[in-house]
Amino acid sequence: MKNTPWLVIGAGAIGLFWACKLEKLGNKVHIVYRSESPGKKITLESLTDEEGHQQVSVSKHKIKSFTAESLTGQYDKVLICTKSFDLKNAFTQIARCITPDAHIACLCNGIGAQEELQSILLDTQTLWAGITSEGVLKIEADHIKHTGLGDTYFGEWRPSDPAKSFPIESLTVTNIRQRMIEKLAVNAVINPITAIFNIHNGDLLNDEYKPLISATLSELASVLTHPQFSYAQESQHLTSDNLKNRVNTIAQLTRLNRSSMHEDVRLQRQTENSFISGFLLDNSPIDLPVQRLLYEGVAFAEQREEIKKKLLSIA
């Protein structure tokens, strides 16, 4: 792999974190921001070491910052860290600076945006879909806090033969769609419920939400194990018990956190609802009344109180 700079698109918490991580691995990093420039150095505050042990450390990471309009040069390694609904547009703004043989990776929630991006890439460019469970908070434009150690994986969105390796080989997996479906299933429970009820992730484990969680998991399992579901090959193992274990584990591990959708709703920002619950509703071969309520509870603020009552009355 050529020792050319990585281009990171998006200066949110995850974008800044990956800019730091790539720089730490010995890469030059250029970052594209939209509103707030992170400047020339990012401060990364870590609460744990690489093994997950509690240890506070602060490091500085050298980068170059650009707006999409001011970007020049050519890049063959790109990492897009935007919201799902911004993915395609973010790439379009810098496409002139991307080489015909580039590796283009994306880290965003849900499913659907990846195919939208794939549709505008050249056949010679490789799209890598990614997922991450790293916990990161943005403190200031040039300052982030790494709050929880997690895993990150990338896989070819359209597998090639022979299979290619991601520019950071240790992060390459062949079953990225399965991993994305697993994450989407958890997000389809935690994100909308915490957003609608304005609660922390750990509150989902409280008794008052147990009937709702149970009904949501049962409905999800019905679609994910259905032979006509569009990702059936990757989701047959996601039974109600399997999903319950996953959701309970994540809710417990992130009990003090607020989901990204919770924060988007609280701050009246656009959510990734269409790529999580919306994706399931669009691709399900069966009716999903609970997921429909969750989708509408996030999408329509004026109906939220009424939807809350309906959700809590589910037995």
CATH number at residue 218: 1.10.1040.10
In a domain, 77, yes or no: yes
| Intra-chain end-to-end CA distance of the chain, in Å | 55
Same domain, 206 and 305: yes
Confidence at residue 233, expressed as pLDDT on a 0 to 100 scale: 94
Same domain, 61 and 147: yes
pTM, whole model, 2 decimals? Answer: 0.92
Which of 174, 195, 220 is the last residue in one of the domains?
174
Confidence at residue 78, expressed as pLDDT on a 0 to 100 scale: 98
Same domain, 31 and 167: yes
Q: Report which of 261, 256, 258, 285 is spatially closest to residue 272, judged by C-alpha positions.
A: 261
Same domain, 130 and 263: no
Confidence at residue 52, expressed as pLDDT on a 0 to 100 scale: 64
Confidence band, pLDDT 50/70/90 cuts, at residue 40: very high
Confidence at residue 54, expressed as pLDDT on a 0 to 100 scale: 74
Which of 114, 140, 174 is the last residue in one of the domains?
174
Q: Max alpha carbon distance in the chain (Å)?
A: 59
Same domain, 228 and 163: no
CATH number at residue 122: 3.40.50.720
Q: Which tens digit of pLDDT belongs to each residue from 117-164? A: 999 999 999 999 999 988 888 999 999 999 878 899 999 999 988 888
In a domain, 1, yes or no: no
Q: Which tens digit of pLDDT belongs to each residue from 47-86? A: 776 666 778 899 999 999 999 999 999 999 999 999 999 9
Same domain, 138 and 227: no
Same domain, 158 and 225: no
What residue numbers bound the domain in which 53 lies? 6-174
Reading phi first (left if > 0) and then psi (alpha if -120 to 50, else beta), residue 282 is in alpha
Token code pair at residue 171: 């992060």
pLDDT at 188 over 90: yes
In a domain, 165, yes or no: yes
Confidence at residue 149, expressed as pLDDT on a 0 to 100 scale: 81
Confidence band, pLDDT 50/70/90 cuts, at residue 1: low
Same domain, 136 and 77: yes
Confidence band, pLDDT 50/70/90 cuts, at residue 315: low
Same domain, 165 and 26: yes
Which of 174, 202, 232 is the last residue in one of the domains?
174
What is the spatial distance between Cα 127 and Cα 280, in angstroms, rounded to a whole number?
23
Overall domain count for the chain = 2
